[in-house]
Amino acid sequence: MRKKVSAIIQLLKDRYPVAPCALHYSKDYELMIAVRLSAQCTDARVNLVTPALFAAYPTLEAFAAADIRDVEHYIHSCGFFRQKAKDIVLACQMLLTQHNAKVPDSMEALLRLPGVGRKTANLLLGDLYAVPGSVVCDTHCIRICGRLGLSQGKEPEKVEMQLRKILPPEESSDFCHRIVLFGREICTARNPKCNECTLSPFCNEVH
């Protein structure tokens, strides 16, 4: 398994030398907000919505003082906008009152923020603080790692724990970003491009 994982990581690095987060942000809390908006929504849609949202509320204090109904207006097209708007405002208030206006750097503290689950927390830890072992289990990660035999099942937390055991901690965050790129380009949920896939030798479901 160690050799297999190493080979897969290298092939993904060869295809995607740079592995940035797909969400656009310039401040730590903006990434927290963008990730919350991305639930049940595409990153592309979030990136269309956030410029106007961040312009309307240019500081953390502005978000914390925002009228939730006004925030709903900006994020309506992202879906589940009422709960997302509430979570965003309350989370920003918590950053101000409990975390010195900074996104916290521990899993425990992050999970106490409204709307933040393990997937969001892992992404924030990996992208903001380069915490080793940060595994972001989104739908691409679960699907592709299952096809490659790196994990079993579809429950995000269980898949995360399986991947933590086999991924080099220093590679895990970038691995997950590369898996997203790979899932969009090649290993799609429907009609994957198996004839173009450099990982097909490791795949259990080559079409």
Question: Active-site residues: which are they?
Answer: 119, 138
What is the full DSSP assignment across 148-177? TTS--SS-HHHHHHHHHHHS-TTTHHHHHH
Question: What is the spatial distance between Cα 198 and Cα 95, in angstroms, rounded to a whole number?
Answer: 43
Question: What is the spatial distance between Cα 165 and Cα 133, in angstroms, rounded to a whole number?
Answer: 9
Question: Within 76-155, where are the H helices?
Answer: 81-98, 107-111, 118-129, 139-147
Please enumerate in sequence order all residues whose Cβ is within 8 A of that of 114, keeping only pairs 6 or more positions apart, or say none. Answer: 86, 87, 90, 91, 94
Question: What is the spatial distance between Cα 20 and Cα 172, in angstroms, rounded to a whole number?
Answer: 13
CA distances from 32 to 46, 104, 112 (A): 12, 10, 13
